[in-house]
A and B are shown apart, each in its own frame.
Chain A
């Protein structure tokens, strides 16, 4: 079997779950009903992907491990997600920009995994790539509207860019076995460059490496997120829901 090593599997699964959690926080609070529904679609897509990946991981690990044990009974230190997924939502511009950054990273990743040597993962990746393309389109459309909309929307998307940019180097540096990291980074950079240009925004400022202050910050956001997500399940560790 040419299974993807479990650490890479967890990195993808945890990123999906944590990002999905952040998106789900918008449910019922979106700027208009259509957007509420669209964000929830993305949340459903990525939480669904997380579930499939955890199930695959648990099956391979054996020992009675389950998707819920992986999601609810690991602490922040065990989570492998890319840090940007856990950053708080901020305003709608920041939420949309994070979706753009992540979906532009996921599209080439899923595409490569879909034709990779791990057939069970490939089956998940085929569907996930389609979903990621839809998310990337949606997030690009809004980024362009914000950049080339009103003075306020432009100010907000610019602010979102400076807030999220420090997390991007770690995202682009993430190694996933059996995939070409450098190619993924190139595709990410050229896609983002096109969107920035169409949005009449300055080039996206990718630094060279994320500094430690940001990492500590992201861990703290992740801990708070997991504390909320896992609270009920951990209160009743024996329960079946």
Chain B
């Protein structure tokens, strides 16, 4: 999940009914009836804050998520794969753009949000702090990471906030392409030379557990899942989504002839689900809090792209201002004449 439910901002812990008012009652009734909330509608401050946090975390994840895969565009082993990967990474940039726009409808600017990312105040999905060591990682990311993102994001298409829900519908369509393309990369490796097959297995071994962490902490440890679901922002719990992901993915790995690196993984007929081993939450929190393998490199890349691009953005606004001033001067001259 790209938003991981990891913010522990105390304002978001307020129960949505703790400042009961008529407006808030009306608002909650609309959500209960599955109506969409639009930017011009009244909304409780806690709802707005929760959305800004979640949408911006999601946007940052899309943009930071361009980096691990972007590093393989120049080395993609065939022109067809190169084109597909380039288009995929571009899609992620587009997702970032729609999501920043959705967040802007809540009264924050893209600059403020980017500032929060660069100062370390805002989070992004911990998965993008892992290294892409081999070409197989490009397949695995599409298959598992985009796959996990879809699992989380399909329910968000029904989210109570209109602009977010609409952005998610568009994004989910593209994510499912990414998932199929990633699976296809892994399939080609599994059908290829012994070295290629080994590359696919080694990659799965590294990405499996971090992918399960993408769904965020256990429901029992998650500080604001309850509130987000009362607001119609989060529809399915972290653990339920994670279980669904495991159930679907085991069959795909079997099809590919890959083994999932979890000795505790087995079918539980009673539950009708796969049981799986314990997630290393220490690792999760280490990565979330900045000590993952690539946290520094990712932030360094984002910040330097932004800082090195400053003169470009400044030139664009200076030029636009000059043109506007000339247009005004021309109009003035016409009027005088």
Contact = CB atoms under 8 A, between A and B. Distances in A.
A146 interface: yes
Contacts of B87: 40, 44
A72 B77 CA distance: 8
Given A29-B70, A92-B309, 14 more contacts: A47-B79, A47-B83, A51-B80, A68-B78, A68-B79, A72-B77, A146-B315, A148-B319, A149-B318, A229-B75, A232-B75, A236-B195, A239-B193, A241-B80
Interface stretch (B92-100, B143-151, B257-265): B92-100
B318 A44 contact: no
A40 to B, nearest CB: 4
A150 B192 contact: no
Contact of B86 (A24, A54, A228, A240): A24
**Most chain A CB within a 10 A radius of its CB, from B77, B311, B315, B316:** B315
Interface of B: 63, 66-67, 70, 73-83, 86-87, 89-90, 93-94, 96-97, 100, 135, 185, 188-189, 191-193, 195-196, 301, 304-305, 308-316, 318-319, 322
11 contacts: A25-B73, A27-B73, A28-B89, A33-B96, A51-B80, A92-B312, A145-B319, A148-B319, A152-B311, A156-B311, A241-B185
Given A28-B66, A32-B309, A153 B315 contact: yes
A149 B316 contact: yes
Contacts of A43: 86
Contacts of B304: 29
A146 B317 CA distance: 10
Nearest to A231: B75
- Majority secondary structure of chain B interface residues (helix, strand, loop or mixed): helix
A48 interface: yes
B308 to A, nearest CB: 7
A233 interface: yes
Contacts of B80: 51, 241
B79 A145 contact: no
A154 to B, nearest CB: 8
Contacts of A34: 97
Interface residues of A, number: 49
Contacts, number: 141
A35 interface: yes
Nearest to B321: A149
A88 interface: no
Contact of B66 (A21, A27, A228, A229): A27
Contacts of A24: 73-74, 82, 86
Interface in A111-158: 144-146, 148-150, 152-153, 156
A240 B188 contact: yes
A236 B301 contact: no
Nearest to A23: B86
A28 B314 contact: no
A67 B82 CA distance: 13
A203 B135 CA distance: 46
Nearest to A22: B74
A38 to B, nearest CB: 10
Contacts of B93: 28, 33, 36-37, 40
Contacts of A62: none
B70 A28 contact: yes
A29 B306 CA distance: 8
Interface of A: 17, 21, 24-25, 27-37, 40-41, 43-44, 47-48, 50-51, 54, 67-68, 71-72, 91-92, 144-146, 148-150, 152-153, 156, 228-229, 231-233, 236, 238-241
B192 A37 contact: no
A228 to B, nearest CB: 5
A107 B299 CA distance: 39
A228 B77 contact: no
B311 A47 contact: no
Contacts of B191: 240
A31 B309 contact: yes
A17 B79 CA distance: 9
4 A-B pairs closest in CB distance: A31-B309, A149-B315, A153-B315, A28-B70
B130 to A, nearest CB: 16
Contacts of A145: 315-316, 319
Nearest to A34: B97
Contacts of A30: 305, 309
Contacts of A31: 305, 308-310, 312-313
Contacts of B312: 31-32, 35, 92, 153
A34 B93 CA distance: 8
B307 to A, nearest CB: 10
Nearest to B110: A33
B309 A150 contact: no
B90 A40 contact: yes
Contacts of B90: 27, 36-37, 40-41, 44
B70 A27 contact: yes
B314 A153 contact: yes
A196 to B, nearest CB: 15
Query: Max chain A CB contacts within 10 Å: which of B78, B192, B318?
Result: B78
B79 A236 contact: no
A229 B74 contact: yes
